[in-house]
Every structure is written in structure tokens, then in C-alpha cells.
Amino acid sequence: MDTILSGRDVLVVDDEPLLRKRLKRFLEGEGANVIAAATFDEGREALSSMPFDYALLDVHLPDGLGVDLLDAAKGVICVVMTADGGWEIAVEAIKRGAGDYLAKPFELEEIPLILGRCASAKRSRRSREHRMEMEAGGGDGEELFFGESLADLKKSLERILESDRRLTQKLPPILLEGETGTGKSTFAKWLHAKGTRKDRELVVVNCAALPESLAESELFGHEKGAFTDAKGKRIGLFEAADGGTLFLDEIASLSSPLQAKVLLAIEEGKIRRLGGTREISVDSRVIAASNRDLRELAKEGQFREDLFHRLNLLHVRIPALRERKGDLLSLVGHLGSRIAGRYGVDAFNISAKGKRQLEAHDWPGNIRELAHEVERAIILGDPENAEFPALAYKIDGESLLETSTHGDWLNPHWEFPDEGIDLENAIDRLIERAIEKADGNVTSAARLLGVNRDYIRYRKKKRSI
């Protein structure tokens, strides 16, 4: 049966022969590979020649203090062992990076518990470190909202969660596909928060943002000396998510060799650090996401077919916002209330014109675009009577042309104002827009309007007169 020490490399540095022998026998019984040293120099030499996962360091050694080995043990989970009277040194050791300490005499059975606690703390630190790096780039402000249009999708997700409760370990991967801005990361966070691993780490990785030269080290970790700047051992994000969830956003951005390693990690539950020689067991629940059709990419040879089939076991398609128009106004109300609260605004309501503007837009940026438009309306407009002028051009105060409308250029929701419009002025403004679109080229502008360029010259001359 696997334990926390199975397959792990452990260094024991203690000058008491009997205790050293007992520790070695016990740890090997837990599945660890153990190197035992009796002096400071032997411990330092072992640390310089081999990448250990854990180290048990006695404080008082014949030729030095065990805590001074912490400098040579960067990236190694270290626990110091101290006899009575060594509390001050133990506290100092923790300040210098030790994970914990053991007061002699101690029960051998305490060791896996303490090392497990230290390993969990290290994964959490690695996860927080990565999360801070990601958050430094800003968030998308999304919040999950199902609505009536996603009722069937919600049922599918709940069935996946019910299946997870029966498995508890080695959970199958989930593939989320949808256009940019549909909220894939929000769905991944919802699945984690509602699942059996909600109390463990959720590690979010934007694969498109990983430089190719660093991607393998970020995902799988590296050993000391694996490359020029590898001053010490560092666990990867698969290990940081061990026992929890790893969300790989835009997974199609990974190179084919990295995709192969991801497949091995999913199928076998094993990874190998960059520069390492042995496999490490991990149990990370992978949720992958893509804004491109992975099936088509696999057919075109741009994505590994074996990885696609493994991910596609639990496939979830998130519809674009234009396919959810029935929920649009409810979604805007939901986003508006949340964003208004963030800005200290008491109420958020949409005007009749604002509703027409929202419903006429195609929302190519999906929920992310919608959230930004709502935020803009709250900051720059009247949140109690919100309108969205950035979505449309204006003619005589009414929306006529939608910036993202495809096909018929006339907004179907546009209505004549009671006082009517100035058609001549409207034509001139259309011509101005066409010239702007054509970067001042009259011939190109005429082509956009379906007229000859002499007509545009005539209109411009007439206006100047």
C-alpha cells in the first residue's frame, strides 16, 4: 500500500547509531529510499550529490549544527530533531526554512504525520505563489450564473460530481470547451468548490501564458542543477495540486512533448521532474479547457489524439452568450448587482433603451465582454438607469448601427423617435463613417456604401455649400 513516503528519497543525519538504524529501517518499511549520515560533512556531501525529498536533521552533530545544513537543502522538506533544551535552536531552524521539529525521544509513527503535514504546507505555498503570479496579471471578473438556458448543463455537471463522490480518488479528467469569455475558468472553480476536493488545493494554470522554455519546469518541477538557474529543487504545479484539482486552461497551447507528459500524469498518476531520474506519484484531478475544438485540432495533427480521447471522456460544451439570449437580462442584473456593490453603488437598473442595446449586440467577447460593459455603465453612466452607448453608433440620439452586427446593418430594435430624424444628416454621417473605415480613401468608402465616388464628392460639396 502506498504511503506518503513511497518512492521518496529521505536523508537521515544523526550521530546516534541506534536511532539512525531504527529510523532507516522504519522509513524503508514505509517505502522510502533512505541515505543515513552520522556527521555534518557527510550530510552536506549527500545533499550536494542527490536530490532528496525529505531530510531528518539532528541539531547537535559532532562537527557542526544540523540547522546549518538547511542552506544546502533548498527545496527539501526538512524536519530537525532536538533533545531537551534545544527549543531555541528548533525555533531558529523553522525561521530558516525547516518545516517542523521533533523533540527526542519521539515515536517513529509520528514521522509520516509530520512529513505529510510539511508536504501539504509546501504544496499550499507553491499554489499560493503561483496564484499570486497569475493574479498579478488581473482577473476577468466573471461569476458563474446558470439561468434557465444552462439547466441541462448544470444537471450534467451535478452527475459528474455525484460520480466523483463514489470514486474519491483517481478522478477522471474533465474537458471544458467554449469560446473565449464564456467562463470556463469559472466553471472549473465551481466544479472544484462543489466537489469532493473542495478542501484541497485548486491550482489554475493558463497554459497560453507559460513560456515554452519554462512550461515543463512549471508543470512538473525541477531538480537542483536541472538548468542554469535551478539553484534548488522546486515542485511543479502537478505536485502542488496533489490531492486537489489542477485546471489547465488553453491546454492546446502546450507543445506535443508536454502533452505526452500530461497524458502520462493523468493515466498513470506519475510525473518526472525536469532533471530527475525517478517517477513521482501524484493524484491531481485535471480539468482542461480550450477555446478551440480539440477534435478538429487532433484531426489536423495540432493536438495529440491520445490526449484528446482521454480528456474527452467527460466533455462539457459551454455555449456562447449569443446562444443564451433568453438569460441575457437576468445575467446583466446578476453582474450589475455584484459590480455595483463592489463600487459602493446602492442600486443597478437597466433603462428600456439599455435593454434594446444589450439585446441587439452579438457579444463576440461573451460574458467577459458583458461584465466589462456593465462595469463601464456603472462607472461612467447612471447605474439606476443604465445604458450602453459603447455598443452602438448614434444617429439623432437613437441607436442605428451596431458595431458587431453581422448581416443586416440596421439594428432591428431601432425605432423612429417621435420627432422624426434628419435623413440628409443621417446620410452624411454614414458617409463620414465609411471614410473613417477606409482610412480616408474615398474610392474604398464608396465601395462600402455601394455608390460611386462621385456621389460622395457631390455630398461633401453640397454640405460645404
Q: What is the pLDDT of residues 282-313, one digit of tens each?
A: 999 999 999 999 999 999 999 999 999 999 99
Total number of domains in the chain: 4
Whether 161 and 204 share a structural domain = yes
Residue 345: give the domain boundaries. 322-404
Query: Residue 213 — pLDDT band, cuts 50, 70, 90?
Result: confident
Claim to verify: residue 437 and residue 335 sit in the same structural domain: no
> pLDDT confidence of 405, banded at 50, 70, 90?
very low
Distance of alpha carbon 421 from alpha carbon 440, whole angstroms = 27
CATH code for position 236: 3.40.50.300
**Residue 415, in any domain of the structure:** no
Q: Report if residue 114 sits inside a domain.
A: yes
State whether 291 and 180 are in the same domain.
yes
Q: How high does pLDDT run on average in the chain?
A: 84
Same domain flag for 247 and 348: no
Instruction: Tell whether 191 and 291 lie within a shared domain.
Output: yes
Higher pLDDT: 358 or 133? It is: 358
Q: Are residue 313 and residue 192 in the same domain, yes or no? A: yes
pLDDT, average across residues 77-90: 78
Cell readout for 428 is 452624411
| CATH code, domain with 40 | 3.40.50.2300
Identify the pLDDT of residue 14: 92
Asked if 340 and 209 sit in the same domain, the reply is no
Picking from 317, 341, 373, the residue at the C-terminal end of a domain is 317
CATH of the domain at 341: 1.10.8.60
The pLDDT assigned to 137 comes to: 38
Domain for residue 133, yes or no?
no
Which of these three, 257, 282, 317, is where a domain ends? 317
Question: Which pLDDT belongs to residue 425?
Answer: 81
Q: Tell me if 124 is assigned to some domain.
A: no
Q: Are residues 326 and 313 in the same domain?
A: no
- State the SS3 of the chain: CCCCCCCCEEEEECCCHHHHHHHHHHHHHCCCEEEEECCHHHHHHHHHHCCCCEEEEECEECCEEHHHHHHHCCCCEEEEEECCCCHHHHHHHHHCCCCEEEECCCCCCHHHHHHHHHHHHHHHHHHHHHHHHHHCCCCCCCCCCCCHHHHHHHHHHHHHHHHHHHHCCCCCCEEEECCCCCCHHHHHHHHHHHCCCCCCCEEEEEHHHCCHHHHHHHHHCECCCCCCCCCCCECCHHHHCCCCEEEEECHHHCCHHHHHHHHHHHHHCEECCECCCCCEECCCEEEEEECCCHHHHHHCCCCCHHHHHHHHHHEEECCCHHHHHHHHHHHHHHHHHHHHHHCCCCCCCECHHHHHHHHHCCCCCHHHHHHHHHHHHHHHCCHHHECCHHHEEEECCEEEEECCCCCCCECCCCCCCCCCCCHHHHHHHHHHHHHHHCCCCHHHHHHHHCCCHHHHHHHHHHHHC
Task: Judge whether 411 lies within some domain.
Answer: no
* Residue 410, in any domain of the structure: no
- For the chain, what percent of residues have pLDDT higher than 70? 89
Claim to verify: residue 311 and residue 350 sit in the same structural domain: no
**304/437 same-domain check:** no
Overall average pLDDT of the 422-445 stretch: 83
Same domain, 16 and 156: no
pLDDT tier for residue 86 given thresholds of 50, 70 and 90: low
Please say if the pLDDT value at position 215 is more than 70: yes
Per-residue pLDDT at 38 exceeds 90: yes
pLDDT, tens digit, 9 for 90 and up, residues 248-286 = 999 999 999 999 999 999 999 999 988 888 888 899 999
Question: Does some domain include residue 136?
Answer: no
Q: Do residue 186 and residue 215 come from a single domain?
A: yes
